[in-house]
Amino acid sequence: MIKAPSDREEFAGLSAFFEQEISPYLNGKEDARQHAVMMFGLIAIATAVMAAAIVKFGPFGHENVRAAIIIGVLSIGGGLWYLNRTRNDITDGLLSRICEKLGFTYTRNISRPDYFVHFERLKMLPNFNREEWEDEVRGVREEADFVFCEAHLKYKSSGKNSSTRTVFHGQLLVIDYHKAFLGETVIKRDRGVFNRFTKPGKEFQNVGIASPKFEKIFEAWSTDQVEARDLLDPIVLERFEELDRLFKGANLRAAFSGGKLFVAMETGDKLNMGSMFTPLAGPERIENILKEFDLIFDLIDVVLKRIDNRLGGAFNVDAVRQA
Protein backbone atom coordinates (compact mmCIF):
# COMPACT_ATOMS: atom_id res chain seq x y z
CA MET A 1 0.00 0.00 0.00
CA ILE A 2 1.48 3.33 -1.11
CA LYS A 3 1.02 6.41 1.04
CA ALA A 4 0.67 9.44 -1.23
CA PRO A 5 2.50 12.59 -0.06
CA SER A 6 -0.62 14.69 -0.79
CA ASP A 7 -4.06 14.47 -2.36
CA ARG A 8 -2.91 15.79 -5.75
CA GLU A 9 -4.69 14.22 -8.69
CA GLU A 10 -1.33 13.11 -10.12
CA PHE A 11 -1.00 10.71 -7.20
CA ALA A 12 -4.35 8.97 -7.75
CA GLY A 13 -4.20 5.19 -8.18
CA LEU A 14 -0.72 4.87 -6.69
CA SER A 15 -1.36 1.57 -4.92
CA ALA A 16 -2.44 -0.17 -8.12
CA PHE A 17 0.48 1.41 -9.97
CA PHE A 18 2.91 0.14 -7.36
CA GLU A 19 1.55 -3.41 -7.46
CA GLN A 20 1.39 -3.59 -11.26
CA GLU A 21 4.51 -1.67 -12.30
CA ILE A 22 6.94 -0.82 -9.52
CA SER A 23 6.90 -3.89 -7.29
CA PRO A 24 7.56 -6.39 -10.15
CA TYR A 25 10.34 -4.15 -11.45
CA LEU A 26 12.07 -3.86 -8.06
CA ASN A 27 11.70 -7.57 -7.39
CA GLY A 28 13.30 -8.29 -10.76
CA LYS A 29 16.27 -6.10 -9.86
CA GLU A 30 16.86 -7.52 -6.38
CA ASP A 31 19.34 -10.17 -7.58
CA ALA A 32 21.38 -7.49 -9.36
CA ARG A 33 21.42 -5.35 -6.20
CA GLN A 34 22.54 -8.26 -4.04
CA HIS A 35 25.26 -9.23 -6.51
CA ALA A 36 26.60 -5.66 -6.67
CA VAL A 37 26.65 -5.38 -2.86
CA MET A 38 28.33 -8.79 -2.55
CA MET A 39 31.01 -7.86 -5.09
CA PHE A 40 31.65 -4.58 -3.31
CA GLY A 41 32.01 -6.42 0.01
CA LEU A 42 34.39 -9.01 -1.45
CA ILE A 43 36.52 -6.27 -3.03
CA ALA A 44 36.64 -4.40 0.27
CA ILE A 45 37.73 -7.52 2.17
CA ALA A 46 40.30 -8.49 -0.45
CA THR A 47 41.64 -4.95 -0.49
CA ALA A 48 42.05 -4.91 3.30
CA VAL A 49 43.93 -8.22 3.24
CA MET A 50 46.12 -7.13 0.34
CA ALA A 51 46.91 -3.78 1.92
CA ALA A 52 47.87 -5.41 5.21
CA ALA A 53 50.13 -7.88 3.37
CA ILE A 54 51.85 -5.09 1.44
CA VAL A 55 52.46 -3.07 4.59
CA LYS A 56 54.02 -6.07 6.35
CA PHE A 57 55.73 -7.98 3.54
CA GLY A 58 55.86 -5.56 0.62
CA PRO A 59 59.06 -5.01 -1.37
CA PHE A 60 58.84 -1.21 -1.30
CA GLY A 61 60.50 -0.59 2.04
CA HIS A 62 59.37 2.63 3.67
CA GLU A 63 56.99 3.15 0.72
CA ASN A 64 54.92 0.06 1.63
CA VAL A 65 52.25 2.12 3.38
CA ARG A 66 51.95 4.49 0.44
CA ALA A 67 51.67 1.55 -1.99
CA ALA A 68 49.01 -0.08 0.19
CA ILE A 69 46.96 3.14 0.24
CA ILE A 70 47.18 3.56 -3.54
CA ILE A 71 46.13 -0.04 -4.21
CA GLY A 72 43.34 0.27 -1.64
CA VAL A 73 41.96 3.43 -3.20
CA LEU A 74 42.05 1.96 -6.71
CA SER A 75 40.40 -1.29 -5.62
CA ILE A 76 37.64 0.36 -3.59
CA GLY A 77 37.11 2.80 -6.48
CA GLY A 78 36.50 -0.14 -8.80
CA GLY A 79 34.02 -1.64 -6.35
CA LEU A 80 32.16 1.65 -6.03
CA TRP A 81 32.05 1.99 -9.81
CA TYR A 82 30.35 -1.39 -10.13
CA LEU A 83 27.97 -0.64 -7.26
CA ASN A 84 27.03 2.75 -8.73
CA ARG A 85 26.58 1.32 -12.22
CA THR A 86 23.98 -1.09 -10.85
CA ARG A 87 22.41 1.66 -8.78
CA ASN A 88 22.13 3.93 -11.84
CA ASP A 89 20.49 1.16 -13.85
CA ILE A 90 17.87 0.54 -11.15
CA THR A 91 17.29 4.28 -10.62
CA ASP A 92 16.81 4.84 -14.35
CA GLY A 93 14.10 2.21 -14.59
CA LEU A 94 12.38 3.32 -11.38
CA LEU A 95 12.25 7.04 -12.19
CA SER A 96 11.27 6.40 -15.81
CA ARG A 97 8.24 4.47 -14.62
CA ILE A 98 7.28 7.06 -12.02
CA CYS A 99 7.61 9.95 -14.49
CA GLU A 100 5.54 8.09 -17.07
CA LYS A 101 2.83 7.65 -14.45
CA LEU A 102 2.94 11.40 -13.74
CA GLY A 103 2.85 12.25 -17.45
CA PHE A 104 6.44 13.48 -17.65
CA THR A 105 9.54 12.40 -19.55
CA TYR A 106 12.72 11.41 -17.73
CA THR A 107 16.36 11.20 -18.77
CA ARG A 108 18.89 9.78 -16.32
CA ASN A 109 22.22 10.76 -17.88
CA ILE A 110 22.51 14.13 -19.60
CA SER A 111 25.27 16.48 -20.67
CA ARG A 112 25.22 20.17 -19.81
CA PRO A 113 21.69 21.30 -20.81
CA ASP A 114 21.17 24.16 -23.23
CA TYR A 115 19.16 26.18 -20.69
CA PHE A 116 22.17 26.29 -18.36
CA VAL A 117 23.60 29.17 -20.40
CA HIS A 118 21.00 31.50 -18.85
CA PHE A 119 21.91 30.51 -15.29
CA GLU A 120 25.56 31.11 -16.11
CA ARG A 121 24.98 34.40 -17.98
CA LEU A 122 22.94 35.82 -15.11
CA LYS A 123 25.58 34.75 -12.53
CA MET A 124 23.15 32.57 -10.65
CA LEU A 125 25.81 29.95 -9.94
CA PRO A 126 29.41 30.11 -8.65
CA ASN A 127 32.51 29.45 -10.73
CA PHE A 128 33.28 25.77 -11.37
CA ASN A 129 35.55 23.61 -13.51
CA ARG A 130 34.09 20.16 -12.83
CA GLU A 131 30.49 19.23 -13.61
CA GLU A 132 28.03 16.33 -13.45
CA TRP A 133 24.45 16.37 -14.73
CA GLU A 134 21.60 13.90 -14.31
CA ASP A 135 17.90 13.32 -13.62
CA GLU A 136 16.26 15.65 -16.14
CA VAL A 137 12.45 15.76 -16.00
CA ARG A 138 10.26 17.53 -18.56
CA GLY A 139 6.55 18.11 -18.36
CA VAL A 140 3.61 20.52 -18.28
CA ARG A 141 1.88 21.90 -15.19
CA GLU A 142 -0.66 24.71 -14.95
CA GLU A 143 -0.49 24.90 -18.78
CA ALA A 144 3.19 25.82 -18.52
CA ASP A 145 6.11 23.76 -19.79
CA PHE A 146 8.80 23.05 -17.24
CA VAL A 147 12.09 21.22 -17.05
CA PHE A 148 14.40 20.53 -14.15
CA CYS A 149 17.60 18.60 -13.63
CA GLU A 150 20.22 17.94 -11.01
CA ALA A 151 23.61 19.63 -11.26
CA HIS A 152 26.72 18.80 -9.25
CA LEU A 153 29.29 21.53 -9.82
CA LYS A 154 32.77 21.48 -8.31
CA TYR A 155 35.85 23.67 -8.33
CA LYS A 156 39.30 22.11 -8.36
CA SER A 157 42.10 24.44 -7.34
CA SER A 158 45.51 24.28 -8.98
CA GLY A 159 48.94 23.95 -7.46
CA LYS A 160 50.76 21.44 -5.29
CA ASN A 161 48.08 21.36 -2.61
CA SER A 162 45.13 21.34 -4.98
CA SER A 163 41.74 20.30 -3.67
CA THR A 164 38.25 19.84 -5.06
CA ARG A 165 35.16 21.25 -3.39
CA THR A 166 31.48 21.26 -4.26
CA VAL A 167 30.21 24.76 -5.10
CA PHE A 168 26.66 23.77 -6.08
CA HIS A 169 24.69 20.54 -5.73
CA GLY A 170 21.01 20.82 -6.39
CA GLN A 171 18.28 21.42 -8.92
CA LEU A 172 17.88 23.83 -11.79
CA LEU A 173 14.29 24.51 -12.78
CA VAL A 174 12.95 26.39 -15.82
CA ILE A 175 9.24 27.29 -16.01
CA ASP A 176 7.38 29.03 -18.82
CA TYR A 177 5.94 32.03 -17.00
CA HIS A 178 2.50 33.52 -17.62
CA LYS A 179 3.91 36.92 -18.53
CA ALA A 180 6.28 38.31 -21.15
CA PHE A 181 9.25 40.41 -20.02
CA LEU A 182 10.82 43.51 -21.53
CA GLY A 183 13.91 43.30 -19.35
CA GLU A 184 15.54 40.83 -16.99
CA THR A 185 15.12 40.62 -13.23
CA VAL A 186 17.27 38.50 -10.91
CA ILE A 187 16.58 37.61 -7.28
CA LYS A 188 19.20 36.16 -4.94
CA ARG A 189 19.66 35.66 -1.24
CA ASP A 190 20.71 38.83 0.54
CA ARG A 191 24.47 38.68 1.24
CA GLY A 192 24.76 42.04 2.95
CA VAL A 193 28.01 43.81 2.08
CA PHE A 194 28.84 41.00 -0.38
CA ASN A 195 25.82 41.76 -2.60
CA ARG A 196 27.94 43.83 -4.96
CA PHE A 197 29.95 40.72 -5.85
CA THR A 198 26.82 38.84 -6.95
CA LYS A 199 25.42 41.53 -9.24
CA PRO A 200 24.27 39.84 -12.50
CA GLY A 201 25.87 42.41 -14.83
CA LYS A 202 26.74 46.05 -15.45
CA GLU A 203 23.33 46.77 -16.95
CA PHE A 204 21.55 45.61 -13.79
CA GLN A 205 20.54 47.97 -11.01
CA ASN A 206 19.20 47.31 -7.53
CA VAL A 207 15.43 47.23 -7.28
CA GLY A 208 13.95 49.00 -4.28
CA ILE A 209 11.22 46.78 -2.80
CA ALA A 210 8.59 48.14 -0.44
CA SER A 211 8.60 44.96 1.62
CA PRO A 212 10.94 44.87 4.63
CA LYS A 213 10.34 41.12 5.03
CA PHE A 214 11.34 40.41 1.43
CA GLU A 215 14.38 42.67 1.59
CA LYS A 216 15.61 40.87 4.72
CA ILE A 217 15.72 37.63 2.70
CA PHE A 218 16.46 38.63 -0.91
CA GLU A 219 18.28 41.16 -3.06
CA ALA A 220 16.80 42.04 -6.47
CA TRP A 221 18.40 43.50 -9.60
CA SER A 222 16.84 44.39 -12.95
CA THR A 223 17.57 45.93 -16.33
CA ASP A 224 14.11 47.55 -16.29
CA GLN A 225 13.21 49.22 -12.99
CA VAL A 226 9.60 49.97 -13.96
CA GLU A 227 8.94 46.41 -15.08
CA ALA A 228 10.70 44.96 -12.04
CA ARG A 229 8.55 46.92 -9.60
CA ASP A 230 5.45 45.81 -11.48
CA LEU A 231 6.67 42.23 -11.68
CA LEU A 232 7.66 42.05 -8.01
CA ASP A 233 4.23 43.05 -6.81
CA PRO A 234 2.87 41.97 -3.40
CA ILE A 235 1.60 38.67 -4.84
CA VAL A 236 4.97 37.67 -6.26
CA LEU A 237 6.81 38.86 -3.15
CA GLU A 238 4.59 36.68 -0.99
CA ARG A 239 5.34 33.75 -3.25
CA PHE A 240 9.08 34.13 -2.96
CA GLU A 241 8.80 34.44 0.79
CA GLU A 242 6.83 31.19 0.72
CA LEU A 243 9.44 29.53 -1.49
CA ASP A 244 12.09 30.54 1.02
CA ARG A 245 10.08 28.75 3.69
CA LEU A 246 9.59 25.67 1.53
CA PHE A 247 13.27 25.42 0.61
CA LYS A 248 14.86 26.77 3.75
CA GLY A 249 18.63 26.46 3.55
CA ALA A 250 18.60 25.80 -0.22
CA ASN A 251 19.99 29.25 -1.10
CA LEU A 252 17.13 29.90 -3.50
CA ARG A 253 17.80 32.22 -6.43
CA ALA A 254 15.65 33.05 -9.45
CA ALA A 255 15.52 35.10 -12.64
CA PHE A 256 12.73 36.36 -14.90
CA SER A 257 14.07 36.36 -18.45
CA GLY A 258 12.68 35.77 -21.94
CA GLY A 259 9.23 34.76 -20.72
CA LYS A 260 10.66 32.09 -18.42
CA LEU A 261 11.41 31.78 -14.73
CA PHE A 262 14.80 30.24 -13.89
CA VAL A 263 15.21 28.81 -10.39
CA ALA A 264 18.30 27.31 -8.75
CA MET A 265 18.18 25.54 -5.38
CA GLU A 266 20.95 23.83 -3.43
CA THR A 267 18.87 20.79 -2.52
CA GLY A 268 21.57 18.13 -2.93
CA ASP A 269 20.79 14.73 -4.45
CA LYS A 270 17.01 14.41 -4.25
CA LEU A 271 15.68 12.07 -6.94
CA ASN A 272 17.42 8.87 -5.92
CA MET A 273 16.38 5.30 -5.16
CA GLY A 274 17.92 5.21 -1.69
CA SER A 275 20.44 2.81 -0.20
CA MET A 276 21.84 -0.12 -2.16
CA PHE A 277 22.44 -1.96 1.11
CA THR A 278 18.77 -2.61 1.89
CA PRO A 279 16.30 -4.80 -0.05
CA LEU A 280 14.43 -3.13 -2.91
CA ALA A 281 11.01 -4.51 -1.95
CA GLY A 282 8.53 -2.27 -0.18
CA PRO A 283 6.93 1.11 -0.89
CA GLU A 284 9.39 3.34 0.98
CA ARG A 285 11.60 4.12 -2.02
CA ILE A 286 8.78 5.28 -4.27
CA GLU A 287 7.18 7.22 -1.39
CA ASN A 288 10.41 9.18 -0.84
CA ILE A 289 10.70 9.96 -4.56
CA LEU A 290 7.07 11.10 -4.71
CA LYS A 291 7.70 13.46 -1.79
CA GLU A 292 10.35 15.17 -3.89
CA PHE A 293 7.98 15.51 -6.84
CA ASP A 294 5.36 16.89 -4.46
CA LEU A 295 7.80 19.58 -3.37
CA ILE A 296 8.57 20.48 -6.99
CA PHE A 297 4.81 20.71 -7.63
CA ASP A 298 4.59 23.03 -4.63
CA LEU A 299 7.23 25.27 -6.12
CA ILE A 300 5.55 25.45 -9.53
CA ASP A 301 2.14 26.03 -7.95
CA VAL A 302 3.43 28.79 -5.70
CA VAL A 303 4.97 30.52 -8.71
CA LEU A 304 2.15 30.12 -11.24
CA LYS A 305 -1.24 29.65 -9.60
CA ARG A 306 -3.64 32.58 -9.37
CA ILE A 307 -1.12 34.84 -11.02
CA ASP A 308 -3.55 37.76 -11.33
CA ASN A 309 -5.30 37.49 -8.00
CA ARG A 310 -4.04 38.13 -4.50
CA LEU A 311 -4.84 35.45 -1.98
CA GLY A 312 -6.71 36.43 1.13
CA GLY A 313 -4.49 36.41 4.20
CA ALA A 314 -1.03 34.93 4.33
CA PHE A 315 0.03 33.00 1.27
CA ASN A 316 0.59 29.30 1.84
CA VAL A 317 0.91 26.10 -0.15
CA ASP A 318 -2.27 24.56 1.24
CA ALA A 319 -4.25 27.54 -0.05
CA VAL A 320 -2.65 27.10 -3.46
CA ARG A 321 -3.57 23.43 -3.58
CA GLN A 322 -7.20 24.24 -2.87
CA ALA A 323 -7.36 27.01 -5.48
pLDDT at 52 over 80: no
Comparing 85-94, 212-221, 304-313, the range with the smallest average pLDDT is 304-313
Runs of H (alpha helix) within 108-150:
116-121
Q: Is 249 left (phi over 0), alpha (psi -120 to 50) or beta?
A: left
pLDDT mean over 54-75? 74
**What is the pLDDT at residue 121?**
93
pLDDT at 128 over 80: yes
Comparing 91-95, 177-181, 260-264, 293-297, the range with the smallest average pLDDT is 177-181
Q: pLDDT band for position 322 (50/70/90)?
A: very low
| Closest to 130 in 3D by CA, of 160, 159, 157, 161 | 157
pTM over 0.85: no
pLDDT mean over 122-147? 92
**What is the pLDDT at residue 196?**
65
Comparing 200-214, 237-251, 272-286, the range with the smallest average pLDDT is 237-251
pLDDT at 306 over 70: no
pLDDT mean over 287-315? 69
**What is the pLDDT at residue 195?**
57
**What is the pLDDT at residue 215?**
79
- 67-72's contacts with Cβ under 8 Å and 24+ in sequence apart are 71/47, 72/47, 72/48
pLDDT, tens digit, for every residue of 141-200? 878 899 999 999 999 998 777 889 999 999 999 999 877 889 999 998 876 655 566 788
| Closest to 253 in 3D by CA, of 87, 66, 126 | 126
- CA–CA dist 76, 165 (Å, integer): 21
pLDDT at 307 over 60: no
pLDDT mean over 5-19? 88
**What is the pLDDT at residue 317?**
45
